[in-house]
Amino acid sequence: MAGAVKKLELKDVRKSFGANHVLRGVNISIEKGKSLVVIGGSGTGKSVMIKSVLGIVTPDSGSILVDGQETTKLKGKDRDAQMRKFGMLFQGGALFDSLPIWENVAFGLIQGKGVSRKDAYDLAIEKLRSVGLPSRVAKLLPAELSGGMQKRVGLARAIAANPDIIFFDEPTTGLDPIMADVINDLIVETSKGLGATTLSITHDMHSARKIADNIAMIYKGEIIWHGKAADIDHSGNPYVDQFIKGSAEGPIKMEV
């Protein structure tokens, strides 16, 4: 869309681990307030792409722009300031198992923003309620919660600091279909509520259709299709067609 403000933009991002070329020139952008879902099979570079944006992995070359600012070379306080714009829901939750639920949710507020523990506790309770969890879970440890509840806590942690951009890594993996749909609804609801831009990676097409404004497909470290979510069934791309049908027949050959 001409003139639309790009919140996040990746230009020719490349990353290799030894001889394994994971990202081979990723080009993609997300407009402010929009939700982009990147679909693709296992080992196609989805996770490395998202970790490159987050600064967990340093790209070999290319450019990652957030609000028009180059971020790949950021260090120290500049990197910290950048990170405060981000929220992230990890695939396995990645909750700190030695900390109670409320402290997990409020971690970024206490450590990153210097909010007092008392205020952080109140904010954590508010965020837990916003993802449908009662205040009584606040003092439990992550191991005492079910997988679905842990995912909700992860979501509460991701949105706790009211981030500009939220990343979702396989948000529905490991959940039953009903709980997966509940999480999808929560993701849409909380993201829209915050007015946040979101980048999700998944291979769950139901989740992708529900969350996305736009969908892109990554294959062998390159974006091979990018369009509106509504157009995914008429992409005209045989790779996308095979993926959304979940068919073994087609141009994508699985290595077994």
Partner 1 sequence: MSMTEQQDDAETARGFSPVVWLLDLCTRIGATLLGFLGAVGRLSAFAGRGIYHCFTPPFYPRLLWRQLVDIGYYSLPVVGMTALFTGMVLALQSYTGFSRFSAEGAVATVVVLSVTRELAPVLAGLMVAGRIGASIAAEIGTMRVTEQIDALTTLSTHPFKYLIAPRLIAGTLMLPVLVLIADVIGVYGGYIVGVYKLDFISENYIHRTWEYLTAEDVISGLWKASAFGFIVTLMGCYHGFNSQRGAQGVGAATTNAVVSASILILIANYFLTQLFFAGK
Total residues contacting partner 1 by CB under 8 A comes to: 24
Stretch in the footprint of partner 1 (CB under 8 A) among 19-27, 108-116, 185-193, 240-248: 108-116
- Nearest-approach distance from CB 205 to partner 1, in angstroms: 24
Specify the residue, 34 or 157, whose C-beta has the smaller distance to partner 1: 157
Distance of CA 88 to the CA centre of its chain: 6
Q: Mention every residue, 6+ apart, whose C-beta is less than 8 A from residue 42.
A: 203
Helix, strand or coil for residue 217? strand
Contact 153, 100 (CB under 8 A): no
Site string for partner 1, 59-98 (x = CB under 8 A): ---------------------x--xx-xxx-xxx-xxxx-
Contact 30, 214 (CB under 8 A): yes
Q: Does 216 bind partner 1 (CB under 8 A)?
A: no
Q: Does 243 bind partner 1 (CB under 8 A)?
A: no
Contact 57, 7 (CB under 8 A): no
Q: Which of residues 164-193 bind partner 1 (CB under 8 A)?
A: 167
Q: Mention every residue, 6+ apart, whose C-beta is less than 8 A from residue 223.
A: 26, 27, 28, 38, 216, 217
Q: Does 54 bind partner 1 (CB under 8 A)?
A: yes
User: Which residues lie near partner 1 (CB under 8 A)?
Assistant: 51, 54-56, 80, 83-84, 86-88, 90-92, 94-97, 107-108, 111-113, 157, 167
